[in-house]
Amino acid sequence: MDYRESLDEIRAMAGRARDGAAAAAAVVDYLHQRFPHYDWAGIYWVEGPDLVLGPWRGPEATEHVRIPIGKGVCGAAAASGRTELVPDVSQDPRYLQCFLSTRSEVVVPIIHAGRVLGEIDIDSSTLNAFTADDQWLLEEVAALLAPRCAARAHGAPAHGG
């Protein structure tokens, strides 16, 4: 799998999108289709004290459509402004179970001008599914989306970096 080639394709696709919402939806579609170990891919947006589910792709919807910032792995990433990579969700007490099949998760904040606007959330049914390449790609994609999506959310202050 060529992560750099994928990033180039995502850049081009996001550049053609009419706005940040369309770019985010296109990115979610691309990630879910291109990477077989990304069983569920979605974006949560910061709305006040919560994360609210935006575009997603996967076999089914999650019941977690609203997550308080600070709660769960997603909430922790939003609160800290840092990527959360969980190789085995059964070993992380913060994990909020969405699907019985999920074994690992990576959550990457989308930060613009020092504020967390949202995050990319990826679940996998494979233990230890995510590599440094996955983290690099998703952090690059989050940085690419941030200025395009800045108008849609006020965000929360980023405490990490």
pLDDT per residue as tens digits for the range 21-64: 999 999 999 999 999 999 999 999 999 999 999 999 999 888 88
Rounded mean pLDDT of 85-98?
Answer: 82
Residue 48, by phi and psi: left (phi above 0), alpha (psi -120 to 50) or beta? left
pTM for the whole structure: 0.91
Domains of the chain listed by start with CATH number? 3-157 (3.30.450.40)
Judged against a pLDDT cut of 70, whether residue 156 lies above it is answered with no
Amino acid 161: pLDDT: 39
Give the span between the Cα atoms of 38 and 141, in whole angstroms. 15
**pLDDT tens-digit readout, 120-150:** 999 999 999 999 999 999 999 999 999 988 8
Element (H, E) at 100: none
Judged against a pLDDT cut of 90, whether residue 115 lies above it is answered with yes
Amino acid 31: pLDDT: 97
Judged against a pLDDT cut of 90, whether residue 87 lies above it is answered with yes
Give the span between the Cα atoms of 93 and 156, in whole angstroms. 24
DSSP string, 32-86: HHH-TT--EEEEEEEETTEEEEEEEESSS--S-SEEETTSHHHHHHHHH-S-EEE
